[in-house]
Structure formats: structure tokens, C-alpha cells
Amino acid sequence: MPRMYSATGQSRWPWVIGAAAAVVVIGGGVAFAATRGDDTPASPSTSAAAVSPSPTSTPGGSSGAGDDEDASPPTGCLGGPQRNAAMVLAAQKSAGHSSYGAVEVATAFYRFIWQSPVPSSSDVSTVEKRVISPDAPSSYSDLGAIYKQYPNISNGEIPDGTRFNLSTTNGLWMIDPDSTNDRVTVNVAAGYVVDGALSPTRSTAQGFVMQWEDGAWHVAGGSKPDGETLANGGVRYTGGC
């Protein structure tokens, strides 16, 4: 049985500190999310390639957390293909009070934060104020400070100075079964786009705690995804970008 977790570097992002990396296979490639709690880089585990996904489609939402049987399954591109604050806000505005809506906003947020060059300071400030919940820990919500200290958020998975972003075209999503109507934990796996080309081998996964407040989904924190569970039971986005 291959190991559930591996690592390629140490994470400085608050929601994954102290967590091992999730091993996720999407689109035929092995993903090593850069999440390690110590200061010693680790080598990728080739045994992880034996893990392969068999994602399932679940009618309605996958958790029963505020699901709307008339809602459309997550596209992975709600808000549009851009990776700016306007895209995240558009996704937040369009997403309904359902687990599907929580997935869309979490995905938009992930696409926004996980890119290089990092978003503009004005866009970061807008997302901090309007998308991150006031209940989120201060260490989590200060994106600007995190970017200043760690400008390469891939932690060396992608070389410094290389342009990259995420694609949900072959991505996976999953809802934690303990989610409720107003608080949904969303796990997302997405592929890296490096210098404009979708990588056949690199992708990353993160978990986001989404909270419904003031009539919209907000990011209230993060969690460590179970890589094996996500790879084998995650649901494909219906579109992606």
C-alpha cells in the first residue's frame, strides 16, 4: 500500500503548518502539495504513483450541507477565468447557499492565492476584507504579510521566478462529511500551469473551511486534505479553467 502522504518542501501558509503533504493524482500526474511542518525538505515519493483516482459524480451536493437539488454542480470556474479579486468576488456573489456554492468560492479563492507573480496589493487587500471571514485567525487572514515573507507560495515545488497558476480543468473537489449548512470544509486538488502550459505531473491540494455569513460564503480557515481519499473519491469539476 503506497504511503498516503509525501512532501517536497516546507509550507509557511497557516492552514497547512505542521501537516504532511497530500498526495493527489489528477490527470495522470502525481501531485505533491508543499506542506511540511519542519525545516527539512523531503524528496518526492515515487511509490505514490501507485495511487490512482476513481472520482465519482454525486447527484445533488456531496454532503447534504445546504444542498439545492436544482443547483448546478461546481464548474471550477465560477467568476470567470481571471485570477484577480474581481473574479473571486463574482464567484462569491453568484454562489448559492449550498455545498456546491461553498466549493465554487473555495476554488476561486485557491486559484487567486496560488499564483506567481502574486496578486497585486490592491487585489489582496480587497479579498482580505471581503472574502476572508472576520472569524478567521489573524495569521491566516493577513495574505499580504504572508506574500511579503514567502513570495514563492509553492515553496520550491516550482522554481523561484517562474510564472505559475492553477488549473481546475482536471481538478477534483470533495466535501468533508462533518460539514453543516453554514460551515463547509472543502478539499480541492488542482493542476499547476507553469509558464502557460498545464503540467502533466504537478498539482497541489488544500482544504478550506467555508462559512456562510452576511448572505455569502467566506473563507474562515484551512484544513489538511486526506490525499488518498481525495484522489480516490473526489468529484471532477464539470468545466474548469
Distance CA 209, CA 116 (A): 24
3-state secondary structure of 201: strand
Neighbours of 232 (CB within 10 A): 18
| Grid cell in block for residue 141 | 487572514
State the residue for C-alpha cell 471581503: 130
Residues contacting 138, CB < 8 A, separation 6+? none
Amino acid at 124: V
Query: In this predicted structure, what is the pLDDT of residue 69?
Result: 55
Query: In this predicted structure, what is the pLDDT of residue 8?
Result: 28
Distance CA 10, CA 142 (A): 19
Query: In this predicted structure, what is the pLDDT of residue 68?
Result: 55
| Grid cell in block for residue 51 | 495511487
Alpha helices in 151-210 (DSSP H): none
Check: CB of residue 204 under 8 Å from CB of residue 6. Answer: no
Neighbours of 135 (CB within 10 A): 13
Query: In this predicted structure, what is the pLDDT of residue 149?
Result: 85
State the residue for C-alpha cell 482580505: 128
Residues contacting 195, CB < 8 A, separation 6+? 162, 163, 164
Query: In this predicted structure, what is the pLDDT of residue 44?
Result: 27
Distance CA 133, CA 219 (A): 5
Neighbours of 56 (CB within 10 A): 12
| Grid cell in block for residue 213 | 455569513
**Cα Dmax for the chain:** 48
Query: In this predicted structure, what is the pLDDT of residue 71?
Result: 76
Strand 197-213: give its sheet, edge to edge.
Answer: 216-223, 197-213, 183-194, 164-175, 235-236
- Neighbouring-strand partners of residue 198: 193
Of 224, 215, 231, 221, the C-alpha closest to 101 is: 215
Low-confidence ranges of the chain (pLDDT < 70): 1-70
| Grid cell in block for residue 143 | 495574505
